[in-house]
Structure 1
Amino acid sequence: MLGLVGAWQWWHRQPRLRLATLYLRVPFVGQLVRAYYAYYLTANLSQLIRSGLSVKQMLRVLNQLPDKALLRQLAQALELKLMTGQSPLHWLRGQPYIPVQLVVFLQKGSTHAQLGRELQAYSELQYRELVARSERLLALVQPILLGVVAVMVVGAYLTLLLPMYQNLQEIYHD
């Protein structure tokens, strides 16, 4: 029990960027999480770009989010890369929760309006992918859950009916 409490505390102290990477490693759910982050990041970035904000303004807006927010921590990491003169695109390529296509869109050199439209279209594709992956995962989980419920129902009937059956046998044998 103490180990579970310690693991829970460790988990909640981790930065969201690290947790995002860890979530991707969870079997069965990792691909769903990857699709979610691809949709989430591209949808938010397209919204920021389509609103006409510069990179500095975007970072300022994202830094107003709560400390634990993934977008705020991502903005802080990108801001640090920019302040040290490093290319943020190289760092972004190394992050497993950021889709490669997003980096390609950013490198392309499109105008602000065109990039916003491209990211919006890509986020819609990612949303469809997210829905398709979640439906596939639910198709796998649903039979398992139905089996568990069936076993629980049979167990409940047995706990109710076995004592009655034993009582009836005692009556017939007496």
Structure 2
Amino acid sequence: MKKQQWPLKTQADFFELLGQLIANGYALERALMTVQGVLPKQRLALTTIVAGLHQGQPLHQLLAPYVRREIARELAFASVHGRLSQLVMEIGRREHRRLRQSQKLRQLLLYPVVLLVMLAGLMGLFCTYLLPQLQQMGATMPQLSHWGVGVGVSVLTCCVVCWLGGRIWRRRNWLQRLQLLQRVPFIGSLVQLSIGYQMSLQLGLLLTSGIGLATIVKRSATADGPELVRLLGTQAERGLREGQDLRQVIQSMPLLPSECQHLFAKGKSEQAIGEDFQILAQRKFELLERQVQRYLMIIQPVCFAVIGLIVIGLYGIMLLPMYRNMGELMTW
């Protein structure tokens, strides 16, 4: 039986409840069994997860088929820093916020999509019924075939560009892909804030758990870690072999927020730096949420502007020639 990913709301409820139970002293297996009563639809999957824990399998591998890949990568570090309850509660709160944002996006797009469907329906009725009758009356109408050819060429061009972009994307590793996404207009800032939040959160949890920077670098370069983490760890190890200082290597790692330079420059202990990283993670998440809200506020006006341009274009293509023909008929 193929395993399906849980809905976003289920993922958020699961992680928030699991974190609360672990924080209140529940063992991981007992907490998962308790969650079964709250999420009965996931009872079979949770039973499988508990059985896998009995066999010694890590939690992030057992949850990977049911949660987003990003969450599975974050959970992989829980076996290192041991702060599972804090991490899963943070994931639960974050996923609830993300769920609210996606719901708001659907609400904002509902009305423009309905208008576009109605507009397409009117366009279809005009071309199917009204246009042939006007042509039978001798009215001179625009040749829609030319427009069809133009639209077809545009669609073909977009498909070719997407195909070439997909080939280039597949040839890049995850580090190069994320660096490329950070340069894309509009979404680049969102990607940068999201990566900064996740990396700051994980580094904060690791450092405040007493794990040194050298251990973090060594652990990140292991073969069983996620691809992105493995690439970053390998790059850090290369810098150490070249004789660079450990903190300089961490500071020069790509994707880390620029604020990290100030955190390491203070000369604090690694425990204090970890606490600063956790504060930075919360700040990055607040900025990310604020940026998403700003984009959500402009999506609907942009959609209405596009619909308005489409209406004006259809008016110029269809109705103006028809009015011109009516004027010629009136002059006879």
Paired residue for 2:205? 47
Q: Alpha-carbon deviation of 1:149?
A: 7.5
Q: Alpha-carbon deviation of 1:50?
A: 1.4
Paired residue for 2:273? 115
In the alignment, structure 2 segments of 5+ residues that lack a partner are 1-158, 312-332
Q: Give the counterpart of 1:37 among 173, 195, 206.
A: 195
Structure 2 Cα separation of the partners of residues 7 and 104 of structure 1: 37
Highest Rg: 1 or 2? 2
The residue correspondences of 1:133-144 to structure 2 (distance < 5 A) are 133-144=291-302
Q: Alpha-carbon deviation of 1:59?
A: 2.1
The residue correspondences of 1:1-174 to structure 2 (distance < 5 A) are 1=159, 4-62=162-220, 63=222, 64-67=224-227, 69=228, 71-87=229-245, 89=248, 92-93=251-252, 95=254, 97-145=255-303
Paired residue for 1:169? none
Deviations 1:81-140 (A, max 9, x none): 111113463784484x32221122123221122111111111111111111111112212
Q: TM-score, normalised by structure 1?
A: 0.72
Say whether the 8 Å CA contact 2:236–2:249 is kept in structure 1: no
Deviations 1:49-97 (A, max 9, x none): 1121122321233233122x2x2211211111111113463784484x3
Structure 1 Cα separation of the partners of residues 168 and 193 of structure 2: 26
Helix, strand or coil for the counterpart of 2:184? Answer: coil
Say whether the 8 Å CA contact 2:182–2:191 is kept in structure 1: yes
Go from structure 1 to structure 2 and tell me whether the alpha carbon gap of 1:26 and 1:2 turns closer, same or farther (over 3 Å shift): closer
- In terms of mean alpha carbon deviation, does 143-152 or 125-134 score higher? 143-152
What letter matches 2:226 in structure 1?
P
Go from structure 1 to structure 2 and tell me whether the alpha carbon gap of 1:65 and 1:32 turns closer, same or farther (over 3 Å shift): same
Q: Alpha-carbon deviation of 1:150?
A: 8.7
Structure 2 Cα separation of the partners of residues 85 and 10 of structure 1: 34
Helix, strand or coil for the counterpart of 1:100? Answer: coil
In the alignment, structure 1 segments of 5+ residues that lack a partner are 155-174
Q: Alpha-carbon deviation of 1:2?
A: 5.3
Please identify runs of 4+ aligned residues in structure 1 that moved more than 3 A: 1-4, 90-95, 145-152
Q: Alpha-carbon deviation of 1:148?
A: 5.8
Output the aligned Cα RMSD.
Answer: 2.9
Q: Greater relative contact order: 1 or 2 (C-alpha under 8 angstroms, separation 6 or more)?
A: 1
Structure 2 Cα separation of the partners of residues 27 and 3 of structure 1: 17
Paired residue for 1:172? none
Deviations 1:23-51 (A, max 9, x none): 11111111122211221111111111112
Structure 2 Cα separation of the partners of residues 130 and 123 of structure 1: 10
